[in-house]
Amino acid sequence: MNRLICLVLLSTFWIFPGEGYDPCCAQPCQNQGVCLSKGADAYECDCTRTGYYGENCTTPELLTFVKTNLKPRPSILHHILTHYKWIWDIINNISFLRDAIMRYILTSRSHLVSSPPTYNADYNYKSWEAYSNLSYYTRTLAPLPLNCPTPDLPNAKQVVERVLVRKQFIPDPQRTSLMFAFFAQHFSHQFFKSDFKKGPAFTKALGHGVDLGHIYGETLERQHKLRLFKDGKLKYQVVDGEVYPPLVKDVQVEMHYPPHIPEDQRFAVGHEVFGLVPGLMMYASIWLREHNRVCDIMKQEHPDWDDERIFQTTRLILIGETIKIVIEDYVQHLSGYNFKLKFDPELLFSERFQYHNRIASEFNTLYHWHPLMPDNFQIQDQLYGHHQFVFNNSILTKHGIRNMVESFTKQTSGRVAGGRNLPAAVQGVAVNILEHSRQMRYQSFNAYRIRFNMKPYSSFEEMTGDKELAAEMQQLYGHIDAVELYPGLLVEKPRPNAVFGETMVEMGAPYSLKGLMGNAICSPEYWMPSTFGGKVGFDIVNSASLKKLVCLNINGPCPMVSFQVPDVKYESSENVNSSSGHSTPNNINPTVVLNERSSEL
């Protein structure tokens, strides 16, 4: 009931009860019922398969009533999954229980994503154009109809300055490392690749998912320029005995570098903007080495195969490795769960699940995790400010991959939720995202909470958990239902000891899991050893981990590598000054340093 009242409030806020507006502006249809206008003052709600009926789809069917009352709140599920470690230690070891829970997580999350996709920024009703035009990001909530009144929104720059920009660095209590932050940026830019020439509603990444276009290039032409055409491999160069991506001048692919960058610092990779920060180029180098390493293995397994077949099979193996690492290392870290997540496509073979994905604009918006970035980057004993760090590939070759990895593993990222932790150096990105979401007629933060099965916030204090921040937000937005998606996510009260608030996780997890498991390689048709060049390749996929990805691709002893900063103070003077030669083999027990997962290898 409480929820209904909030919904009515939400609707009335967006219109004045005047005439001449589309009756669907008031969003009268609840519970994902679809509104159809019939002239200027009549509408119809289509409640088909919503589990509700009535004029506005507000009356639950009996089964819906029972289900909604039995279903635990997200906050309760989250609490259970992040506590009671001793119980989870047992459950994690009982394979049918672990499988059942993982299956439940996958299905309950991915069912929140519309599939096949429905709307886009220009179509708030179903249409073949919206379905079939892959140049658009899809939209989970339809854009507000064009002729609807919208509330006066605060100046975007003011919002950013008053509640988003960092005053003083707030470390993430989950101890997320920069190794994680740059993985996030590197991984996500394969499918978040806005085509700003067409507008923020458009994407250049037509694969709409994990296709590794950031390694191999979005077009066939680019891919061919990056390939060696020998044994399936990619082109590379050797600097100080280490393998790095080739130079732009040698492969002739377009990369975005400012004019002052010298030729021998212009590395060329699949994604045009990966020269932006050495963190991206570090991962690009690691994946390039991994590709060529796997090619060698394939060549050995199949001496009869030509370049093309080795290349294509290796690409599928790397897609599999990526999904494995993202679920079992990356999402595992983010979730904070004591339950051990599992990448196993077979879990879904008995379920109704579409092997298809379309990237949503809202997913892109919520993934702007720039507060993860610190004010300075400490690599070995050197401190780089943002200005020295961006477009500076020489940092990578100067320190080498192993030292970059180790330094990024030791440095803590910033907390994302809770407000005021966005580095001033990237505040322009936040202003853009606000302006773009207005241009694309996003619905409110609270509307998204309802869409993803959460109760809308009823006050600024409930949303932020902080009096001062609440007052500032109130001044900016006036009404809680006017708060926009992106600032809502960043000022939201973080969950206890967590990097994110509730909404980031409850929205992000469905998009993420759907995108990972909806990949073609996870379908019954593909998921078998022969797809990956036989048992050897399939094993590479099924045993992939962040630690192996790094350590199999550098010479010498394995550095510290983790998405979580080890719970030991490495910053102590003793370690800093003895660390000029990190090659001194692990004086720290690696199983303490790496998260539990890696130690099982």
Q: Which of 367, 442, 477, 486 is catalytic?
A: 367
Site for ligand HEM in 314-373 (CB under 6 A): 364, 367-370, 372-373
- Shortest separation between residue 409's beta carbon and ligand HEM, angstroms: 15
Distance CA 192, CA 362 (A): 11
Query: Is 367 one of the catalytic residues?
Result: yes
Does residue 573 belong to the site contacting ligand NAG (CB under 6 A)? Answer: yes
Q: Count residues contacting ligand HEM (CB under 6 A)? A: 20
Which among 385, 147, 395 is positioned nearest to 285, based on CA atoms? 395
Does residue 350 belong to the site contacting ligand NAG (CB under 6 A)? Answer: no
Which region, judged by CB under 6 A, interacts with ligand NAG, from 73-81, 170-178, 331-339, 390-398? Answer: 390-398
Does residue 93 belong to the site contacting ligand NAG (CB under 6 A)? Answer: yes
Query: Is 448 one of the catalytic residues?
Result: no
Does residue 306 belong to the site contacting ligand NAG (CB under 6 A)? Answer: no
Q: Helices (H), strands (E): how many in the chain?
A: 29, 8
Q: Tell me the two tokens of residue 424.
A: 């001033």
Site for ligand NAG in 128-167 (CB under 6 A): 133, 135
Q: By CB under 6 A, name the one of 188, 357, 562, 564 that touches ligand HEM.
A: 188
Instruction: Decide: helix, strand or coil at residue 383.
Output: strand
- Shortest separation between residue 519's beta carbon and ligand NAG, angstroms: 23
- Give the x-and-dash track for 190-229 against ligand HEM (CB under 6 A): --xxx-----------------------------------
Establish whether 109 is an annotated binding residue: yes
Q: Tell me the two tokens of residue 417.
A: 């939720």
Does residue 308 belong to the site contacting ligand NAG (CB under 6 A)? Answer: no
60: β partners: 52
Q: Which of 186, 189, 399, 436 is catalytic?
A: 189
Distance CA 292, CA 298 (A): 10
Distance CA 281, CA 451 (A): 37
Select 313 or 393, whichever has its Cβ closest to ligand HEM.
393
Q: What's at 222, amino acid-wise?
A: R
- Shortest separation between residue 89's beta carbon and ligand NAG, angstroms: 4
Does residue 390 belong to the site contacting ligand HEM (CB under 6 A)? Answer: yes
Distance CA 300, CA 227 (A): 19
Which region, judged by CB under 6 A, interacts with ligand HEM, from 292-300, 426-434, 448-456, 591-599? Answer: 426-434
Q: What share of the chain is helix, strand, coil (3-state, %, to 5)?
A: 50, 10, 45
Distance CA 390, CA 279 (A): 9
Select 56 or 292, whichever has its Cβ closest to ligand NAG.
56
Yes or no: say if 269 and 282 are a contact pair by the CB < 8 Å rule. no
Establish whether 79 is an annotated binding residue: no
Select 361 or 512, whichever has its Cβ closest to ligand NAG.
361
Q: What is the dihedral of CA 441, 150, 419, 497, to 10 degrees?
A: -70
Q: By CB under 6 A, name the one of 61, 89, 250, 308 that touches ligand NAG.
A: 89
- Residue 566: asked if its preceding bond is cis (omega within 30°), the reply is no
Instruction: Decide: helix, strand or coil at residue 94.
Output: coil
Select 110 or 365, whichever has its Cβ closest to ligand HEM.
365
**Residue 452 interacting entry, from ligand HEM, ligand NAG, none, C-beta within 5 to 8 Å by type:** none
**Residue 367 interacting entry, from ligand HEM, ligand NAG, none, C-beta within 5 to 8 Å by type:** ligand HEM
Yes or no: say if 509 and 488 are a contact pair by the CB < 8 Å rule. no
Select 41 or 250, whichever has its Cβ closest to ligand NAG.
41
DSSP state of 346: G
Site for ligand NAG in 576-595 (CB under 6 A): 577
**Residue 394 interacting entry, from ligand NAG, ligand HEM, none, C-beta within 5 to 8 Å by type:** ligand NAG
Largest CA distance in the chain: 76
Does residue 126 belong to the site contacting ligand NAG (CB under 6 A)? Answer: no
Distance CA 344, CA 324 (A): 9
- Shortest separation between residue 26's beta carbon and ligand NAG, angstroms: 5
Distance CA 128, CA 133 (A): 8
- Shortest separation between residue 457's beta carbon and ligand HEM, angstroms: 24
Does residue 432 belong to the site contacting ligand HEM (CB under 6 A)? Answer: yes
What one-character-per-residue DSSP string does 218-280 give?
Answer: SSHHHHHHHB--STTPBP-EEETTEEEPPBHHHH-------TTS-GGG-B--SSTTTTS-HHH
DSSP state of 481: G
Distance CA 508, CA 513 (A): 9
Distance CA 20, CA 25 (A): 11
Q: Tell me the two tokens of residue 520.
A: 């073609």
- Shortest separation between residue 526's beta carbon and ligand NAG, angstroms: 26
Distance CA 180, CA 409 (A): 8
- Give the x-and-dash track for 2-31 against ligand NAG (CB under 6 A): ---------x--------------x-x---
- Residue 116: asked if its preceding bond is cis (omega within 30°), the reply is yes
Q: Which residues are annotated as a binding site for heme b?
A: 370
Give the residues lining the site for ligand NAG (CB under 6 A). 11, 26, 28, 54-56, 58, 89-90, 93, 133, 135, 388, 392, 394-395, 398, 573, 577
Which residues are tagged catalytic? Answer: 189, 367
Give the residues lining the site for ligand HEM (CB under 6 A). 181, 184-185, 188, 192-194, 276-277, 364, 367-370, 372-373, 390, 426, 429, 432
Q: Which residues are annotated as a binding site?
A: 109, 370
